[in-house]
Amino acid sequence: MERIELSPLAIYERHLEAGELAYQWSAEAQKAVFTPRLLCPFSGSTRLEWRVASGLGRVYATTVVHPREGEPYNVALIDCEEGFRLMSRVEEIPPEEVRIGMRVAFRVHRPGGGEAPYPVFVPVERP
């Protein structure tokens, strides 16, 4: 087995730093793989290639979280056009306005303070 220079998470985070939403593709399974990993969960293959997503998707499910302190926010499952789903949130609209089936576009959230960037989404069209 070849030596791995960077972990899949490190590669994913580098793509985020560059403003890209990356995922892996399994040639054996002919499926997108997300979250980043060493082995394909469908075939067990170690042959996973990195690809960059278009950044477009649809809200599969959403809920509004009401923390004891702070403002409500939404948590959403996003189905990306490339065939993988990730948990994120939809920003730039009130959390109650996020709807199942809503078209969304990826952007990078950079929290600062030494925290790693992470993917969030915004509506393609305003409700």
Q: Which residue has the tokens 């490190």?
A: 10
**What's residue 1's pLDDT?**
45
Contact call for residues 23 and 53 (beta carbons, < 8 A): yes
pLDDT at 3 over 60: no
Residue 18 to residue 57: CA distance in whole angstroms: 20
Please give the Cα distance from 15 to 19 (Å, whole number): 6
**pTM, whole model, 2 decimals?**
0.89
Q: What residues pair up with 49 in beta bridges, in sequence order?
A: 25
Share of the chain above pLDDT 90, in %: 88
> pLDDT per residue over 54-90, tens digit each?
999 999 999 999 999 999 999 999 999 999 999 999 9
Out of 6-15, 53-62, 98-107, least confident range: 6-15
- What is the residue-averaged pLDDT of the chain? 93
The verdict on whether omega for the bond into residue 35 sits within 30 degrees of 0, i.e. cis, is: yes
What is the average per-residue pLDDT within 30-37? 96
Q: Which domains does the chain have, with CATH numbers?
A: 8-52 (no CATH), 56-123 (2.40.50)
